[in-house]
Amino acid sequence: MDILHNLFYGFTVALQPMNLLFCFFGTVLGTLIGVLPGIGPIGTISMLLPATFHMSPTSAIIMLAGIYYGAMYGGSTTSILVNIPGEAASVVTCLDGYEMAKRGRAGAALGIAAFGSFIAGTLGIVGLMIFAAPLARFALRFGSPEYFGLLLLGLTLVTYLSRGSIVKALMMGAFGLILSCVGLDSIQASPRMTFDIMELWDGVGLVPVAMGLFGISEVLMNIEKTESTDILKTKIKSFFPNLSDWMRSIWPIVRGTVLGFFLGILPGGNPVIASFLSYGLEKRISKHPEEFGKGAIEGVAGPESANNSATSGGFIPLFTLGIPSNITMALMFGALLIHGMRPGPFLVKDHADLFWGVISSMYIGNVMLLILNLPLIPLWVQVLKVPYRILFPLILLFCIVGSYSLNNSTFDVMVMMVFGLLGYLFKKFEFEAAPLILAFVLGPMFETNLRQSLLLSKGSFLIFVNRPISAVFIGVSFILFITALLPNFKKAKEKYESSVQDD
């Protein structure tokens, strides 16, 4: 009953005209950037962070969440029609979605992607509603050592956010921590690494750093390419899948939803991994695995459901424990901090309007997406025809004005440019920016809780092991760290053995 009462309260918040408007704006913008290759939810959320300063925190998070799950819907459109994933989470949809389109079944593919996303998104929100509040109540028992353990667990995610070298991911994490230390120290208020630059006393801003690393660098990577996009010329007859399509898709949708939701909660789990695992699972258990890659509708239904429910799952660790499980959640974390709210158990308790309002808005957003997405597909196809060389000056201008408007200072613009160049070079040298941002966001709290705990224990690290909750977190961090390292050790061993055989 409590959940229903809270949900009803959440709807009264989400249905306020301004929140409804921002939900609509977020979902439409999310779909748009999901459709457009070359700009994703991370870049867009980074760019829009300054714009949220003028909004209420609830409206801001409703809009940013809308962009995130809207992009998951939009991403499938380009995968199916153009064979170019608008979003990384829709890469796998290309395999069968595009094949279906080539056989004149684009409508059914787009339809099942939209319906599957809707069902998964809605069920994911139900899961979020059930699990989040009890977890937050438990987290209210935490003191500094427990928070330190939890934040250490969060920082361990650095190893899971990396798709490449784990050494490079850890290096980026360490650099993120260093970067978070720039400015006045939170306990003694003495300046660190400010080099007599007044603007650095407040530290390096999350917004210019994120905009540079994700927005500017992405543009630089795209403009050096010279390829063009071919849009499949096919007539879309009906977006409603037939009975046979539904029979084949319903279980992949259910499996994708459950898989995606729990992967979203797990450290480093994100919609991209969820969609790939769902595809692998469907292919493995299918009676006709040979059809996969040649236009099997299960290959669209499963992954599209998984990536949507993973977005809902990702909100659980953010809202209840204050731990972002992926990079988009790290930006949401930053957005909450900017609005003076600390993500974690107190958020659910002290800002119930925000927590339940956002959850309820996600229900509304999912309905909006379903209603909007199908009739607007011809419009999204037209949008795809806008050449990137016209789009990129607008993206850059938006980034520039966004970072300038933070403090009406060109210093922030310069910081953004520097991180744009760094982000571009990181991509070239195969260093990923995600671990950097995660460590940068968690850094200040990590430092405060570490130093407070050491002050409490008079310098003894045993305080982290003697307290059961913090001991569990540290133990889990250790296990996660080791399990992340194991595949690398195996790879190194195999390489060594093969080189010995070659010699």
Q: Which residues bind another protein (CB under 8 A)?
A: 51, 54, 167-168, 170-171, 174-175, 177-178, 181, 185, 187-188, 190-193, 216, 219-220, 223-226, 387, 389-390, 392-394, 396-397, 400-401, 404-405, 408, 410-411, 413-414, 417, 420-421, 424, 428-431, 443, 446-447, 450-451, 454-455, 458-460
Q: Are 84 and 228 in contact (CB under 8 A)?
A: no
Looking at residue 216, the DSSP 8-state letter turns out to be: I
Give least dist CB 185 to another protein, A. Answer: 4
Q: What H or E segment, with its residue span, contains residue 277?
A: helix 271-285
**Pairwise CA distance, residues 304 & 323, whole Å:** 25
- CA–CA distance from 145 to each of 122, 321, 464 (Å)? 36, 14, 6
Q: Which residues contact 121 (CB under 8 A, 6 or more apart)?
A: 69, 72, 308, 309, 311, 312, 362, 366, 369
In terms of CB distance, is 3 or 187 closer to another protein? 187
In terms of CB distance, is 381 or 421 closer to another protein? 421
Q: Are 403 and 416 in contact (CB under 8 A)?
A: yes
Neighbours of 166 (CB within 10 A): 18
In terms of CB distance, is 120 or 166 closer to another protein? 166
Give least dist CB 349 to another protein, A. Answer: 29
3-class DSSP assignment, residue 184: strand
In terms of CB distance, is 130 or 397 closer to another protein? 397
DSSP string, 228-269: -----------SS--HHHHHHHHHHHHHHHHHHHHHHHSTT-
**How large is the angle between the packed helices 327-338 and 298-316, nearest 10 degrees?**
40
In terms of CB distance, is 8 or 53 closer to another protein? 53
Give least dist CB 192 to another protein, A. Answer: 5
Q: Which residues contact 398 (CB under 8 A, 6 or more apart)?
A: 47
The distance from CA 74 to its chain's CA centroid, rounded to whole angstroms, is 15
Give least dist CB 213 to another protein, A. Answer: 14
In terms of CB distance, is 140 or 425 closer to another protein? 425
In terms of CB distance, is 193 or 379 closer to another protein? 193
Give least dist CB 294 to another protein, A. Answer: 32
Q: Let me know how long the chain is.
A: 503
In terms of CB distance, is 285 or 456 closer to another protein? 456
Give least dist CB 53 to another protein, A. Answer: 10
- CA–CA distance from 278 to each of 126, 144, 329 (Å)? 20, 39, 22
- CA–CA distance from 397 to each of 9, 183, 329, 390 (Å)? 40, 28, 25, 12
Give least dist CB 34 to another protein, A. Answer: 23
In terms of CB distance, is 377 or 436 closer to another protein? 436
In terms of CB distance, is 135 or 221 closer to another protein? 221
- Residue found under tokens 């008079």: 458
In terms of CB distance, is 173 or 252 closer to another protein? 173
Give least dist CB 450 to another protein, A. Answer: 7
Sign of CA dihedral 405, 410, 415, 418: positive
**Pairwise CA distance, residues 62 & 302, whole Å:** 26
Q: Are 102 and 71 in contact (CB under 8 A)?
A: no
Q: What H or E segment, with its residue span, contains residue 183?
A: strand 183-184
In terms of CB distance, is 238 or 460 closer to another protein? 460
- Residue found under tokens 């968690």: 442
Give least dist CB 467 to another protein, A. Answer: 18
**Pairwise CA distance, residues 1 & 6, whole Å:** 9
The distance from CA 107 to its chain's CA centroid, rounded to whole angstroms, is 28
**Pairwise CA distance, residues 279 & 293, whole Å:** 10
Give least dist CB 468 to another protein, A. Answer: 23
Give least dist CB 310 to another protein, A. Answer: 30
Give least dist CB 171 to another protein, A. Answer: 5
